[in-house]
Structure formats: structure tokens, C-alpha cells
């Protein structure tokens, strides 16, 4: 068993002109790209295997990140199921000229470790230690159940 802390990944990025839209805000797609990389590294760190994105359950954009801001991304495993792993990612922006920091985004992603043939591999179990880790561990089961239920409902609607 591994603890969530063993899967933590911290990335830091500088928002450059090529990362922004016409308003000088970080492109949502660029942030999603960085979030996906951080989360994949957490899943890989936990499983010790190559991991692929299975789903992005939620991603919020609570305030813009501007040109010249520093983006801090922290990802950590919340739970491991049979072959899938849920990763929580939070994003902070730092304005280096004014010294301000704010949490701007958070996301939940699901990854699967695969073998050389693309087949899913069992995920090592996760043992939450802190109260926050235990809450996220329980919430992950609810998100998974909701995701699977929604998938079945949509499948039934299609016939």
C-alpha cells in the first residue's frame, strides 16, 4: 500500500504570450494540458507504470490567470480502484510583480495503468493517512459511482 503523499507532483509554469488569448488570459486548453500532465505523473508515480487518461470528471476555472503569472499545479492520488486511479489537481496563480496568490482551478481525472499491449493493469491500493486524504478517498468512490451510473443511463437512452 502507498500513501497519497507518495504520488504528489508539483509543476510550475510561466504564462507566456503564446499561452494566452486575445485578452491576455491563459488559454483554458493550455491549463487543461498542464493539469493532465501533472495528473498523469501522479498516477505513474503511484503505479510505477505508463498511465493513460480515462476521464476528466470536473475542472473548474474560478478566475483568470494572466500573462506573466506563475502557475503552480499540485496533483495527488485520491483513490485507487481495481485498475483505475483518481487524481485531484489544484491550480494556484501567483502574480510575481504584486506578490499575490490565488487558487484558480481544481480538477478530478481518472487514469489507468497499461501494459505494452494497452491492456489495463491492477492499480496498487492507496492508504489515506490524513483526515483530508480520508475525505477525498470516500468522495472518490461517490464520483466513480456517479460516473458509472451516468454512463449506463446515457447508454440506455441511445438504445
Domain count within the chain: 1
Q: How high is the pLDDT of residue 57? A: 87
Asked whether 87 and 112 are in contact (CB, 8 A), the reply is: no
What is the tens place of the pLDDT at every residue in 33-54? Answer: 999 999 999 999 999 999 999 9
CATH number for the domain including 99? 3.10.129.10
Q: Is 90 exceeded by the pLDDT of residue 12? A: yes
Q: Is 90 exceeded by the pLDDT of residue 58? A: no
pTM: 0.93
The gap between the terminal CA atoms of the chain, to the nearest Å, is 41
Structural domain range at position 50: 4-158
Amino acid at each position: 500500500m502507498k500513501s497519497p503523499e507518495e504520488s504528489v507532483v508539483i509543476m510550475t509554469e510561466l504564462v507566456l504570450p503564446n499561452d494566452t488569448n486575445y485578452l491576455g488570459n491563459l488559454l483554458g486548453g493550455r491549463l487543461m494540458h498542464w493539469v493532465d500532465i501533472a495528473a498523469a505523473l501522479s498516477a505513474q508515480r503511484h503505479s510505477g507504470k505508463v498511465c493513460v487518461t480515462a476521464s476528466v470528471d470536473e475542472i473548474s476555472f474560478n478566475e483568470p490567470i494572466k500573462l506573466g503569472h506563475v502557475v503552480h499545479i499540485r496533483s495527488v492520488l485520491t483513490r485507487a480502484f481495481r485498475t483505475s486511479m483518481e487524481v485531484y489537481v489544484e491550480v494556484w496563480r501567483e502574480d510575481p510583480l504584486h506578490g499575490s496568490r490565488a487558487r484558480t482551478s481544481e480538477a478530478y481525472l481518472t487514469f489507468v495503468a497499461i501494459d505494452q499491449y494497452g491492456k489495463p493493469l491492477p492499480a496498487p491500493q492507496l492508504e489515506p493517512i490524513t483526515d483530508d486524504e480520508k475525505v477525498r478517498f470516500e468522495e472518490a468512490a461517490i464520483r466513480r459511482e456517479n460516473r458509472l451510473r451516468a454512463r449506463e443511463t446515457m447508454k440506455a437512452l441511445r438504445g
